[in-house]
Every structure is written in C-alpha cells, then in structure tokens.
C-alpha cells in the first residue's frame, strides 16, 4: 500500500501561519503538491507543510528551532537530489522576486543590500524594482521551460522525422543495437562528406582561417579541410525544405518526433528577439579600458529570431551590479538584464544600450547556483557564479539576518561561496554583471558512431588547448531513443564577434570523420545562447517529468585511452543519457578566497553525466553507467570532487568532502560556528550534528516504491 506521511497538527499549523505573511499548505491541502514537487520525479516528499514566504523568514527558522523541526529551502531551481523538499517544513522562496540593475558609482562602489528595502517591505524601493505579487509563480514555469529560442534550426532538426537524411549512412554496427531495444536490421548507404546543413554565415572564410589557428592534433585526428558547405552553394542532396534555408519550419506530424521524450508545445508566446545591438568591445578585460576590434557585426539570417542591425558601440561600464531575490530563476534574471540595458557610447547611429549578464550556469537553474559554484558560458572569462558575488543577505540558524561580504562576516563569506545552503537561508543577492552584447555561438551536430566518436573528441580536445578565455566549448554525447541514432554535439560560445570567433569554429569544424548534420554557429544574443544546453538535453516539461540522476567530476586531462573507454561505455547507455565534457580553466583559477580550493579550480575539464529516463522505466544502467564512468573510468585523472553545484542524489560523504579538498576542515569549523545543531541538514552536508558521516539515503527524501513487471518485453516500474 502507498506510504503514509504525517501532517502538521492544528496547533502548529495556526502558529506557523501567524509568524509571517504568506500561505501555509499542509499535506493534503489543495496546493501542497505545487510546493512539494521537484523536477526529478524520482523523489518522494515527506514534509508536513510548505510555507510560502513573503517576509520575516527568520520567524519560520525560529519556529522550526522551537519545535525541533527541520526546514528545507526551495528557491525555484531544478534540484535533482531532493534536498529542497526533504525537511519537515518546506520554506518556499518563490515570492522573493526583487530584481534591479545599477551601474557602478564613480569610485566603483555600489548600493549595499542593507540600503535597499525588500520588495515586500514597507520601505522605499529602487525605481527599477519589480515584483510578481499574488500570482502563483508555479504558473510561470511552462514558459521558463521553453528553450527553442536558443536555435530554431536545432529545434527543427530535433523534431525532424528522421536523422537518416539523404546521403547519410547508418553506423555499422549501429549504436542503437547496444541499447535496450533490438533493431531487426541495420541498413547502410554510401557515406558522403560535407555538412548536411550549414547555418553559420561567413563560413566561406573558414578554410582560410584554419591556417591561422595554432592547435595540436594527434596524427589520427589531423584534418585540414572543414566539413562545411559554403553559403553560396546549395547541397544537392537536401530536401526542398532544407534547400530553402528555413529550418525553423517543421511540417512533420507530432508523432514523427525522433526523440519521443521531446515535448513539442505551440502555445508559448514568441520569444523576444535577441538584442539588436552589436558591440565592438574587447571582452578580454584586464582593466576598465575597452578597445574596439571589428566594428560591425551582423546577426544570423537563417534563424528567424535573429535581426541583422549593424551598430557600432562601446560599453561605458566594465561591469554592473544586479540585485535579485532568492525566488528569481536564473533565466528570469538573464531576461531582465537583457531588457534593462545600460547606456553605451555609440560610434555610429544610436541604440538603447548594451545588455549586461551575471555569470550563471546555462539554463535552467535557480538562484542558489550563486552559493554553490556556477559554471557556465562566461566562467572562463569572468569566473564562477560564486566569484562574482559581492553581497548576500542570509538568515542564520539562530534567526539573525546578516549581510555577508568581503568586509562583513569574512569567515561566513568565505564559506557560503560554495557551501551556502549548509549555513543558512540566502534571501537576496548582489552580483557583478558584464556587458555581453553579442556572442558567436551555437552547435555542431554529428551522428554518434563508436568507431569515429573517439577521433572527434580527441580533435575537440586538441583544438581547445590554449584557447583564450573568451572561448567556452563543450562536447556532449546524448543517447537517442529506440530506433534512432545518438548524437555528438559540439557547443562553442565565443564572447565576441564573428571575425575572431570563426577562427575557432574553423578549427573545430575541420574534423571530417563524419558528416556534420547541422552547423548553426553564428552571432546571437547571450540570452538565447543560455537556453542551448537545455535544448539539446531535451528534458521533459512539467514536474515530475522523469527520473534524473547526475554525477560529475573535475579532471586534470583527457587522455586517449580514457576517451576510447568512454565512447565504448556510452555506446551501451540507455535512452536519455548525456555525457558532457566542458573546457574549464581561464579566469576560474584567478579566485582563491572561497571554500572551493585552488586544486579544483585548476582542472582542465569539468565532466558530467546527466541522465533522465521515463518514470516507469526500470533499468539499473540509468544509474550504474553514470557511476561507473565517473568513479571508475575517469578516476585516474580526477582532481578532487566536482564543483558543489554538480552534487547529486545519494552522494557518498567522501565525494562531498572531496569537493572542498584541503579547505574541508576549515569549512567544518565555520559550519559548527554558524549552525551548531545542524539545522540546515537538508542539503548536501554529509555529517550529523556530532560531526559523524551520515548515509545520504537517510537524510534525503525516499524514492517512490514500486514493483518491477515485464510489460511488452521491457521491465517497467509499477508504483505502489
């Protein structure tokens, strides 16, 4: 029979409702499920009640301490481990939606959080502050999970009825043979080189650019001819719809989706166009000066959301400051700062300013990424999210409200940047944002073939050696569903113009071991680029959508033998598995005064296994393959643990400790000083109040109970 859980007593319910403004939802009440559900469907919430916070959060913390109840904090992110709904009382911060952006003062200073009234307080607020009072923030989630604005070309490609386009060939043997299905027959056809679809403009210059690139290649991966189609040539083997260049038009029926778990919805409002302003600044900042490079940029013409408006301008400020409440999702913050641009110095014509962006991880994440790590497209240029914090407002275990910064509570400031959720409840943040008017970014998509994928990954590795800080790059392997091929996706994001960025595109795209199915790298807005990883992951929409499992590591190098073993292991992964290699380094190593140690920051790559699968699928490989790859295959090149923001479900205490390396002892001292009773134990913190390691399964929410049954030839879960 289904498990039963306790609800909050009438007496405690009345008391909790009286301590501050906001609704209280007891287990069984209408609305409780909205606040007790995670993106990861493989988590069972046992909480007694959920408390939506508007103000006076410290009173809820004191209420929990008074009655020996454990709180958990839900800040609007997409956590997979379950900690956000693991406590007796869920503190929901989704109504804390303060947001504002300000340029630095003449002396470089900013308005402190202590001088800015909260959005729900009665004090005076900055003019730019906005809110979403009274509206259930859960209703906004559907639009936040819409990622097609990253690239209409990729969206159309992923929805196409088949990856077997004319002129392509099936892998022999097909990678799909190794999956949970058995293909009856494998067909083959002659292999042809050249890209199926070339979206990147300016590609006619790519072959000339290759000779200007300095990068190393192993003999087995050396290639000097880009597998691209010049923009003035039309591939003769393309369907008419592709020859037209309008890949954003999808005429395939809804049931012809090659990735069955990609939700196609057409009722979303159109995404705002990317910023039309193209800047001429040099993004490699070493001072406050800005040096124009190439002064005129043009947006892509093949993506319907790109608008070619050449403008020459320079940002006035090297950075800005963004204030935001803990209930703000990172995509909302990116959207706000893209829409609220700061003034610029125009060299020709005019405009409405330049957008500034906080260095976040790619969409979707919540605000807590600011105190957990945060690796994204701007990290190699500006550091992790935690490195760009300047102030945090936090409620401590004893009910105190503090504003931590470099000069206030320095020990807490050191520890909260990396382990913040274990030390208190962050309610507001102030962080640096940087001018990003344009990025040269996008995806190169290849069919996964285990005989050629090692060559592509090695080629990628060799191309990005010595890359400038402006260049972010990753390669990911993503497993396709039954009957469809898996993909290898190379993503790059050059923070700057096409003129410089296309040199790195030329190097990466010169690999000709397989035809490139799609190359849509071009100039675009950073806001839309932030959706690109989620678009490729193709996660299912409304929670609880599917089961999720994440494992990550930082590695010192990427040797050939590990690449070879990785590809062979991935060929046998189930549907919905994605393995990610991200180039690290750059500005990340410049920051040391946080609890994330220098040893972690010096890693060459950050690695992640991002696994998602249907709720009723019972396949141990969904977990085991991630554990084996991260813990065994990659072990020889491990650099401690992962960044804390990548900690997932059921992490062993030793893996958590490894995230902080030599800083672990000092971090434990700070934890004992600010949370001696371990009130904030519904986090990744691996110790009990006495300092003893705990089994992660004892302080995380349980998984749903089920029985395994064989249905239609597959083992499926039947939930009890």
Portion of the chain with pLDDT greater than 90, in percent: 51
**pLDDT given for residue 347 in this prediction:** 80
Domain assignment present for residue 589? The answer is yes
In a shared domain, residues 475 and 622: yes
- H-helix segments, 387-482: 410-419, 453-463
In a shared domain, residues 68 and 101: no
- Integer CA distances (angstroms), 187 to 169, 172, 635, in order: 8, 8, 38
The domain total for the chain is 3
CATH of the domain at 19: 3.30.43.10
Cβ proximity of 56 and 427 under 8 Å: no
Show which of 602, 633, 649 is a domain's final residue. Answer: 649
pLDDT bin (cut points 50, 70, 90) of residue 479 is confident
In a shared domain, residues 622 and 598: yes
In a shared domain, residues 411 and 543: no
SS3 422: helix
CATH of the domain at 573: 3.40.462.20
In a shared domain, residues 417 and 319: yes
**pLDDT given for residue 31 in this prediction:** 86
The alpha carbon of 672 is separated from its chain's Cα centroid by a whole number of angstroms, namely: 31
pLDDT bin (cut points 50, 70, 90) of residue 608 is very high
Show which of 620, 649, 678 is a domain's final residue. Answer: 649
In a shared domain, residues 514 and 575: yes
pLDDT in tens, 20-54: 888 899 998 988 988 888 878 778 888 999 998 88
Domain assignment present for residue 720? The answer is no
In a shared domain, residues 432 and 443: no
pTM for this one?
Answer: 0.79
pLDDT averaged over every residue in the chain: 77
> What is the residue range of 530's domain?
439-649
Domain assignment present for residue 253? The answer is no
- 664-674 and 410-419 helices, crossing angle to 10°: 110
How many angstroms separate the CA atoms of 518 and 195, rounded? 7
In a shared domain, residues 458 and 586: yes
How many angstroms separate the CA atoms of 298 and 309, rounded? 7
Domain assignment present for residue 315? The answer is yes
CATH of the domain at 427: 3.30.465.10
In a shared domain, residues 486 and 621: yes
In a shared domain, residues 431 and 517: no
**For the residues of 431-444, what is the DSSP string, one character each?**
EEEEE---EEEEEE
In a shared domain, residues 458 and 362: no
Q: Tell me the mean pLDDT in the region 403-411.
A: 97
How large is the greatest C-alpha to C-alpha distance in the chain, in angstroms?
A: 76
In a shared domain, residues 507 and 643: yes
Domain assignment present for residue 430? The answer is yes
pLDDT in tens, 296-345: 333 333 344 444 445 678 899 999 999 999 999 888 999 999 999 999 99
Domain assignment present for residue 204? The answer is no
**Closest alpha carbon to 39 in 89, 93, 82, 5:** 82
Domain assignment present for residue 710? The answer is no
pLDDT in tens, 96-118: 999 999 999 999 999 999 999 87
Indicate the helix (H) or strand (E) that contains 403. Answer: strand 401-404
**For the residues of 284-333, what is the DSSP string, one character each?**
--SSS------------SSSTT-------EEES-S-EEEEEETT--HHHH
The 10 Å CB-count burial string (b at 16+, else e) for 311-336 is bbbbbebbbbbbbbbbbbbbbbbbbb
Domain assignment present for residue 332? The answer is yes
Cβ proximity of 558 and 461 under 8 Å: yes
């Amino acid at each position: 029979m289904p498990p039963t859980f306790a609800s909050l007593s009438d007496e405690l319910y009345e008391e909790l409702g009286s301590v501050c403004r906001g609704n209280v939802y007891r287990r069984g009440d209408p609305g409780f499920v909205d606040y007790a559900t995670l993106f990861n469907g493989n988590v069972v919430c046992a909480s007694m009640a959920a408390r939506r916070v508007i103000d006076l959060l410290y009173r809820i913390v004191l209420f929990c301490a008074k009655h020996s109840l454990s709180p958990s904090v839900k800040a609007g992110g997409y956590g997979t481990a379950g900690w956000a709904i693991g406590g007796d009382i869920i503190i929901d911060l989704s109504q804390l939606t303060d947001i504002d952006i300000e340029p630095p003062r003449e002396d470089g200073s900013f308005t402190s959080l202590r001088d800015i009234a909260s959005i729900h307080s009665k004090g005076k607020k900055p003019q730019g502050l906005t809110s979403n009072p009274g509206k259930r923030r859960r209703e906004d989630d559907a639009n936040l999970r819409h990622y097609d604005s990253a690239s209409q070309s990729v969206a159309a490609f992923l929805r196409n009825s088949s990856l077997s386009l004319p002129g392509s060939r099936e892998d022999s043997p097909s990678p799909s043979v190794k999956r949970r299905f058995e293909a009856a027959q494998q067909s083959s056809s002659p292999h042809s080189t050249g890209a199926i679809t070339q979206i990147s403009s300016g590609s006619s210059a790519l072959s000339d650019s290759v000779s200007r690139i300095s990068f190393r290649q192993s003999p087995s991966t050396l290639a000097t001819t880009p597998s691209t189609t010049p923009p003035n040539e039309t591939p003769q083997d393309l369907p008419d719809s592709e020859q037209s260049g309008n890949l954003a038009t999808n005429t395939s029926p809804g049931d012809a989706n090659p990735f069955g778990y990609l939700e196609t919805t057409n009722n979303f409002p159109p995404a705002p166009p990317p910023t039309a302003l193209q800047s001429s600044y040099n993004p490699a900042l070493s001072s406050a000066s800005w040096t124009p490079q190439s002064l005129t940029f043009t947006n892509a013409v093949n993506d319907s959301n790109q608008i070619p408006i050449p403008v020459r301008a320079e940002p006035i400020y090297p950075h800005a400051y963004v204030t935001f409440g803990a209930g703000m999702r990172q995509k909302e913050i990116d959207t706000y700062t893209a829409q609220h641009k700061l003034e610029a110095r125009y060299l020709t014509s005019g405009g409405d300013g330049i957008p500034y962006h906080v260095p976040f991880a790619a969409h979707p994440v919540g605000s807590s990424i600011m105190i957990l790590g945060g690796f994204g497209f701007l990290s190699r240029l500006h550091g992790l999210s935690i490195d760009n914090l300047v102030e945090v407002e936090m409620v401590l275990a004893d009910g105190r409200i503090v504003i931590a910064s470099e000069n206030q509570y320095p020990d807490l400031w050191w520890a909260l940047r990396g382990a913040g959720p274990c030390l208190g409840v962050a309610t507001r943040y102030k962080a640096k944002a940087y001018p990003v008017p344009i990025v040269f970014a996008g995806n190169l998509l290849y069919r996964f073939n285990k005989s050629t994928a090692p060559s592509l990954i090695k080629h990628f590795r060799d191309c990005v050696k010595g890359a400038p800080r402006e260049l972010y790059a990753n390669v990911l392997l993503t497993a396709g569903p039954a009957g469809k091929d898996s993909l290898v996706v190379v993503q790059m994001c050059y923070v700057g113009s096409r003129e410089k960025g296309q040199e790195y595109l030329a190097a990466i795209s010169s690999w000709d071991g397989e035809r490139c199915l799609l190359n849509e790298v071009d100039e675009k807005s950073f806001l839309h680029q932030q959706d690109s990883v989620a678009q490729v992951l193709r996660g299912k929409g409304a929670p609880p959508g599917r089961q999720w499992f994440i494992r990550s590591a930082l590695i010192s190098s990427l040797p050939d033998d590990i690449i070879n073993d990785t590809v062979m292991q991935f060929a046998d992964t189930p549907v919905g598995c994605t393995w990610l290699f991200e180039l690290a380094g750059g500005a990340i190593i410049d920051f040391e005064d946080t609890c994330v140690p220098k040893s972690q920051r010096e890693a060459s790559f950050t690695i992640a296994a991002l696994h998602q699968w249907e709720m009723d699928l019972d396949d141990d490989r969904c977990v085991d393959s991630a554990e084996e790859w991260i813990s065994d295959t990659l072990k020889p090149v491990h650099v401690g643990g992962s960044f804390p923001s990548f900690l997932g479900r059921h992490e062993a205490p030793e893996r958590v400790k490894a995230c902080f390396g030599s800083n672990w002892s000092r971090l434990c001292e700070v934890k004992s000083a600010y949370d001696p009773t371990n009130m904030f134990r519904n986090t990744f913190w691996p110790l009990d109040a006495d300092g003893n390691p705990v089994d992660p399964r004892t302080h995380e929410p349980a998984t749903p109970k089920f029985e395994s049954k064989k249905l239609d030839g597959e083992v499926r879960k039947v939930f009890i």
